[in-house]
Amino acid sequence: MRLFAVDGERSWVDGGLGKLRFDDDDDPLRLGAATVAYRARLAPTLALRVSASAYGDGVGSLADLDEAYLELRPVPRSAWKLLARAGAFHAPLSLENTGVGWTSPYTLSYSSVNGWFGEELRTLGADLQVTRAGAAGGSPHDVGVLLGVYRANDPAGALLTWRGWAVGDRPTRLFERLPLAPLPALGPDGFFFPQEQWEEPFHEIDGRYGWYAGAQWDYLDRSRVRLQRYDNRGNPAVVRNGQWAWRTRFDHLGWHLRLPAGEVIAQAVRGDTEMDGFTRPLVFADYGAAFLLLSHARQRQRVSVRYDDFWVDDRDGIAGDPNDEDGHAWTAAWFLEGSTTARGNWRVGAEAVRVSSRRPARELLGRPARRTERSLQLVGEWRF
């Protein structure tokens, strides 16, 4: 449950251009999320994992699936370890969202990078991770590679382009539609009239497969570095059932460092996205975001501070559809966790967020291009 106060634009969850999950018009007491995670062992090395969630914001159905996949972990017979997954799941991109139901143990609101990963990206396919454990040869280094193949992620890029980056904690569920702001270029009378006033991010449009690949290096239990490439291989000239296929691709670099006094997490992403007409790109934008998070845990308490920087560079030159954006955000969070009993455990906390951004598209809706939004949230959680 959340108790919050917000000073900001109309939230993107309600079809606005606000950067926060909640806005001034929301009731100050709200269900943050109710999540169920289920794991069934089908065989000694094969498991079924399913997670579902419910939100109190009135978007989509009350409850919906987040992930549903099979996980195969063969018993290693050498230094090589395998992990294979097939179904619908989050690609292994985030170093921040490591909790149950893809939540973060550090803050309530996710970074702009991982927030977008949860909103528009989901693997509906399979991936394979191969890791060589250095301990078998007396080395402190583990190295691994990753390859994933998927479909049904063609619209990814629409939300990032027409809304921009955000700082929130609302991953999209598998069968949801995300509202888009009532920009003049959208809707039946707009320049992009085939596009509905919403996005279905996990929708197959062009019949192509996308892929991601990467490498990971671990040093003992202290440092983890990830380098990855993501490409949905969308055909940007195909539109079907009110949704365009976007060609969205990016490079991702992440680092997680564990120190005696705490943890440091940094991630950065840079890429481009494109949506075409018959002869030329109608929307083409470069984008990037990065964050640095510092966290310290002592006994039952944790304190975290994060800085985000993000931008979108509109390069198509289409009049009436400005998608440029630049901004930054500060987040500070504190949590106190109770002891675990037979009935579960509780956690309480507080979080403050300040997001400052400039987005010219706001002027099309009668709002100033530059806006600073703030939120203060108190949270109470029960896990069992």
The tens digit of pLDDT for each residue in 245-265 reads: 999 999 999 999 999 999 999
- Per-residue model confidence (pLDDT) at position 183: 95
Rounded to the nearest 5°, which phi and psi values hold at 279?
A: -120, -20
Residue 353 and residue 200: Cα distance in Å, rounded?
28
Span 179-187, average pLDDT: 93
Res. 69 pLDDT band, cuts 50 70 90: very high
Q: Which amino acid is at 353?
A: V
- Count CB-CB contacts under 10 A for residue 294: 17
Burial class (CB in 10 A: 0-12, 13-18, 19+), 41: exposed
pLDDT digits (tens, 9 = 90+) for 9-33: 999 999 999 999 999 999 999 999 9
Question: Nearest 5°: CA angle at 48, between 72 and 39?
Answer: 115
Whole-angstrom distance, CA of residue 382 vs CA of residue 384: 7
Burial 225-252 (b: 16+ CB within 10 A, else e): ebebebebbbbbbbbeebbbbbbbbbeb
In degrees and rounded to multiples of 5, residue 7 shows phi and psi of: -125, 100
Give the least confident one: 94-108, 161-175, 176-190.
176-190
| Residues 239, 16: Cα–Cα separation, whole Å | 24
Report residue 172's pLDDT band, with 50, 70 and 90 as the boundaries. very high
Topology of 2-383 in CATH? Porin (2.40.160)
- 3-state class (DSSP) for residue 88: strand
pLDDT at 189: 86
Q: Which two tokens stand for residue 254?
A: 């992440």
Q: Quick one: pLDDT at residue 42?
A: 97
147-153 mean pLDDT: 97
Res 140: pLDDT: 96
Mean pLDDT of 225-243: 96
Q: What are phi and psi of 53, to 5 degrees?
A: -145, 160
pLDDT tens for residues 71-119?
A: 999 999 899 999 999 999 999 999 999 999 999 999 999 999 999 999 9
Strand partners, 219: 141, 223
For the cut 90, the answer to whether the pLDDT of residue 63 exceeds it is no
Length of the chain: 384
pLDDT band at 131 (very low <50, low <70, confident <90, very high): very high
pLDDT in tens, 287-342: 999 999 999 999 999 999 999 999 999 999 888 899 999 999 999 999 999 988 88
Given a contact cutoff of 8 angstroms between Cβ atoms, the answer to whether 90 and 118 are in contact is: yes
Q: What is the pTM of this model?
A: 0.96
